[in-house]
Structure 1
Amino acid sequence: MAKIVGILNTSHVPAIGKAIHQNLQQDPYWKPFFDGFPPIRAWLDRVKPDIVVSCFNDHGLNFFLDKQPTFAIGAAPEYRSEDEGWGIPTMPSFPGAEDLSWHIRDRLIRDEFDMVTCQEMLVDHAFTLPMALLWPEQKWPVRSVPVCVNTVLFPLPSARRCYKLGEAIGRAIAAFPEDAKVLVIGSGGLSHQLEGERAGFINKEFDLKFMDSMVNDPQWATQFSDVDLVEQAGNEGVELLSWLIARGTVAGAVKVVHSNFHIPISNTAAATMLLEPV
């Protein structure tokens, strides 16, 4: 049976992609962020996951305000990136785990989650940058299942609903008959706001509490409405919903393999956490 071997939550600021392209990993501005990943890559080399289930938010590459699903899942043989206008080079296509995608999709719909099924899906920086941070040579040793959550058009899915989606994904993975090791990625955040009167807003106290809750009280953030999350984490900080989906996939306790928190990169509180089921 398939087994979740880890949860990797990380920020996906577009500027990370430009820093990678320009080889700025040792630049004083970027080094504190990039230094968070060698221990994670060492863990990947040891554990060797087969499949990644990536939870992220689309930034207009697939969905825009005229067509914005609450939840969508990719069920394609491969996923390509395209130019988003950020100066991030496109990456090699990502092979899909079609069998697991359809299995999760069927289970979620039977669990009363109305998933949009995408047999073609482009993936933007929210999906591609975590992959490039984990495997910088960009030769993907894993197959992928993309799970997209709306963090753009209000009302957003509630934090509680996102956590329950994660629980349902976790049950679906556990019921998949293939002997596969699965890494779940939650992409986005943490606190940041890019426009309006609070542009540049960062809430370190909330971020650290949220990161602690991933281990000690995983449903802590489900008390907040979407408006509450904007107040606490900023308009774009609501991307932490992807972290909640990822954390919900593991029902039991987890331990921290490695974590990193750095302020700021591109007006964002950048955070990375690798969690392992106990």
Structure 2
Amino acid sequence: MARITAGITTSHIPAVGAALDNGKADEPYWQPVFAGYEFARAYERDTKPDVVILVYNDHASAFDMTFIPTFAIGCAESFPIADEGWGPRPVPEVQGHADLAWHIAQSCILDEFDMTIINAMAVDHGLTVPMSLMFGQVDAWPVKVVPIAVNVVTYPPPSGNRCWLLGEAIARAVASYPEDLNVQIWGTGGMSHQLQGPRAGLINKAWDTAFLDKLTADPEALRHMPHIDYLREAGSEGIELVMWLIMRGALGPEVRELHRHYHVPASNTAVGHIVLEPLP
């Protein structure tokens, strides 16, 4: 049977990808950011996942204001790299696991989650930056990917509790897949940041740290946090953190925290990253 063996979260800041692509990772400004991912890179080499279910949000690359799915699943065999205005990132095309993706789609829809099925989709920095952080600069990604795109761009985004429940539904889907697969689930985006208006540049270290603490030890406190709390405390883009709750819901009630990284600033954003394993 397929099994979810780990959950990972990370910010997906586009400037982090640009720093890596342009050979700036060892510069004094960026070195502390990338140093925090050395554990995860070694962990990925050691555990060798077959598939990553990667929860992220699109940034007007695959979707625009004419079509905004709340939850979408990529079921294609491969996903090209989006051109976000300055050319596609120089990273490999993302290879999908269509059979697992279709199984998850069927299982979740019959489990009363109305997933939007996407059979052709370009992926942007929301997906590719986490891949680069975990695997570095490679000729081909060492895993297949099932993308789960979540609307956290246009109001109303899904609630934290709905995201948690989707994580539980994804876990049930994976557990019922007959092939022996080592599956990880990643939640991306965040942490606190705001890109516009009088609070542009907002970073709330105390709130971010408390969120990381609760993600491991008290996730029930996060499930029912209202959207206004994310907006008030973490900025307008802090709502991306609800995507971490899909990952956390898929791991079950008890987890072991293996690694944590928090750094400010990277561009105008707080970097957050955690590696968790489910307990039996």
TM range (shorter): over 0.9
Which ranges of structure 1 fall in alignment gaps of 5 or more residues?
none
Q: Note if contact 1:33-1:270 (Cα within 8 Å) is conserved in structure 2.
A: yes
**Are 1:234 and 2:235 an aligned pair?**
yes
RMSD: 1.2
* Aligned residue runs from structure 1 range 167-206, under 5 A: 167-206=168-207
Distance 2:86 2:252 in 1: 37
* Aligned residue runs from structure 1 range 1-278, under 5 A: 1-85=1-85, 89-138=89-138, 139-278=140-279
Aligned-residue offset at 1:136? 1.1
Q: Note if contact 2:215-2:222 (Cα within 8 Å) is conserved in structure 1.
A: no
Aligned-residue offset at 1:252? 3.4
Corresponding residue pairs, total: 278
Aligned-residue offset at 1:88? 6.0
Equivalent AA in structure 2 for residue 168 of structure 1: A
- Change over 3 Å in CA distance of 1:161–1:86 after alignment to 2: farther
Q: Note if contact 2:91-2:137 (Cα within 8 Å) is conserved in structure 1.
A: no
Aligned-residue offset at 1:233? 1.1
% identity of equivalent residues: 45
- Change over 3 Å in CA distance of 1:191–1:154 after alignment to 2: same
**Segments of 4+ moved more than 6 angstroms:** none
What TM-score does the superposition give when structure 1 sets the normalisation length? 0.97
Equivalent AA in structure 2 for residue 134 of structure 1: M
Aligned-residue offset at 1:11? 0.5
Distance 1:259 1:161 in 2: 25
Aligned-residue offset at 1:150? 0.3
Q: Note if contact 1:95-1:143 (Cα within 8 Å) is conserved in structure 2.
A: yes
Distance 1:177 1:57 in 2: 29
Aligned-residue offset at 1:10? 0.3
Partner deviation per Cα, 1:63-100 (whole Å, 9 max, x = no partner): 11221111100000001112202566242111110111
Distance 1:41 1:141 in 2: 12
Equivalent AA in structure 1 for residue 32 of structure 2: P
Aligned-residue offset at 1:142? 0.9
Aligned-residue offset at 1:219? 2.6
Distance 1:275 1:88 in 2: 31
Query: Secondary structure, in 3 states, of the residue corresponding to 2:251?
Result: coil
Query: Secondary structure, in 3 states, of the residue corresponding to 1:33?
Result: helix
Distance 1:65 1:163 in 2: 26
